Amino acid sequence: MAELYEKMVKEAMMAQKADVETIKKNRGKEFKIKDTKAYLDVVQDMKAVGEQSEAVINLHKDSVKAHYEILDSLTDTIRPEDDPFVEHYQTPVVLEILRDEDSEFEKSLEAFIDAIGRAEALIGREAIRRYGGFYGPTCVVDFALMPGSTSNVVNRILTETDIPEMHKQAILSAKSWGMNTSYGIGEVFANEIENGATAAEAAEKEIEMVKYIYQEPVEAQAKLMDDHGHESFDVREYMSRYRKEMEGTVKAAIDDGVHYGNILTVPAYCVGDISHHIAQSTYNMCKDDVVMAIIEATTGVMESTLNSAVSSFKSEYDVLSLATGSSACAVEYILELDGFNAIGVVDLLTKRFHNYVQLYPTRGAAAELHNSDFMDMIYRGWTHLDEARRMLNGAEGPLEPMVAGHKVDLSPIHENEVIMNPQRYTYPACAITVRFSALMRLADYPCLLTSEPVTATLMTNIIALHKESAASPARTCKNCAAAALVDFRHNHCQWREAV
């Protein structure tokens, strides 16, 4: 297994560094699709080893290749307002392929759509709660089953639907790590209410929308983009061509016995680096030297920590846990250099959330999504750092938090000249909030800190070892920061009831 662990670390860090190095080179410049070729190249080097399913690896590689080539032929750039959605055009296509290939799955999908129509009380309640901010900061497209998320609602409906378990899991995966359209639960309801509809009328419109994204996923996504005012490229042409490019790969995965949930998940989760993480919005954000330095230092912590642990991993899940845990420690440590910690920031952002709801009742369904990701990340980091500080006590020496039995190497932070010299980026005598302010920029966009390219690469490797089991959503308590520290919403979660 040592060869597998080494390969996983190498592939994950190559994906991360392709992003970071491209952004460092181009920050402040105009984004071009061709800038993302470095990420495409490292993905094409991914290989199945040992017992890994080549069909799963190909879902990842072929999707990234198709995504790059189609975008490159349709446009030379993408405006920031359109870049969050580039990873939402894959799952609708794959869902339609599976439906067309398997008549039994099509019947299950139809039964689920009928069940949505009968779930008026549930959908109305959840839409009202989301509109009013009942659950606090949420990830509407959460990778777990947190309260207020679309997957939480989908799971509740599926538990009452009489279809095969595998089909239930596939449908759930399609709106968790798979992104079946850009729609998030409650958005239609909120806009209808604010436009003068009754609650009953708004709930009816909400149900129509939720049904629509499963009835006609490709056209629903295109219509959502029409309503959004998408300008960068022809989304219908993209999805038509994506189907032609990916149909053979999807059929090969079906023939290989890959769980439909994984077939729906892998192709979408891996493409976001092309024109979303490497994109104009990222180039603009990273013009700030401190923001760029935080991303670089966090990458350094991940790489050093993973390389040191590669010979002592016990399972493939250890690699994922250490990758995400080490980056969480790194970001929390940088936060603590300015005298802040996760507890204070979670309190701040949760209070801000409730003000934001009152200011913007029709806020986008995803508005607080990345704030939630950021809070969960730093809270996780804090739990490890707090334990390490207690063990270090008053002794001298570096802080060495432990994650999954492995030491986290925080030295890349101290070796980063920008991070360790905040006085160069503000009034020099009062440079006590510089790193914190940069982290608040990243609180809206922590994708390269959590890190999505690393997680996507590692998850594909893990799924390739367990192709027959649905990997998404995570069937575990997410340990939500807001729920752990401020709000009381644990009893509305669904992780133990996941289909």
Burial class (CB in 10 A: 0-12, 13-18, 19+), 102: middle
Inter-residue contact 8 to 450 (CB < 8 Å): no
Least confident of 8-22, 110-124, 136-150, 346-360: 136-150
Residue 252 has pLDDT above 90, yes or no: yes
Least confident of 186-190, 336-340, 488-492: 488-492
Residue 1 has pLDDT above 90, yes or no: no
Inter-residue contact 338 to 433 (CB < 8 Å): yes
pLDDT of residue 175: 93
- Average pLDDT (279-294) is 98
Q: What's the token pair of residue 261?
A: 């949930």
Q: How far, in Å, CA of 294 to CA of 441, rounded?
A: 11
Inter-residue contact 342 to 379 (CB < 8 Å): yes
pLDDT of residue 237: 98
CB atoms within 10 A of CB 146: 29
Q: How far, in Å, CA of 458 to CA of 448, rounded?
A: 14
Least confident of 62-66, 177-181, 291-295, 382-386: 177-181
pLDDT of residue 143: 81
- Average pLDDT (217-243) is 98
Q: How far, in Å, CA of 424 to CA of 97, rounded?
A: 54
What percentage of the chain has pLDDT greater than the value 70? 100
- Average pLDDT (127-138) is 94
pLDDT tens, position by position, 304-316: 999 999 999 999 9
Number of separate helices (H) and strands (E) present in the chain: 23, 2
Residue 365 has pLDDT above 80, yes or no: yes
Determine how β-strand 406-407 pairs with β-strand 402-403: antiparallel
Q: How far, in Å, CA of 345 to CA of 338, rounded?
A: 12
Q: Which of 381, 382, 352 is nearest to 368 (CA)?
A: 352
Q: Crossing angle, helix 316-337 and helix 289-309, to 10 degrees?
A: 140
Tokens 């059929």 belong to 251
In the chain, helix, strand, coil percent, each to 5? 65, 0, 35
Sequence-ordered alpha helix ranges (H) in 310-368? 316-337, 342-359
Beta-bridge partner residues of 407: 402
Q: In the chain, where are the structural domains located?
A: 1-35+276-467, 87-269+486-498
- Average pLDDT (107-125) is 97
Q: Crossing angle, helix 103-118 and helix 120-132, to 10 degrees?
A: 70
pLDDT tens, position by position, 133-191: 999 999 888 788 999 999 999 999 999 999 999 999 999 999 998 899 999 999 999 99
pTM listed for this prediction: 0.96
Is residue 274 classed as helix, strand or coil in its secondary structure?
Answer: strand
Q: How far, in Å, CA of 279 to CA of 277, rounded?
A: 6
Q: How far, in Å, CA of 390 to CA of 74, rounded?
A: 55
Q: How far, in Å, CA of 446 to CA of 462, rounded?
A: 23
232 — pLDDT class (breaks 50, 70, 90): very high
In degrees, rounded to 5, the angle at the alpha carbon of residue 142 between the alpha carbons of residues 119 and 309 is 150
Q: How far, in Å, CA of 260 to CA of 174, rounded?
A: 9
Inter-residue contact 61 to 44 (CB < 8 Å): yes
pLDDT of residue 178: 87
pLDDT of residue 142: 77
Q: What's the token pair of residue 368?
A: 């607080």
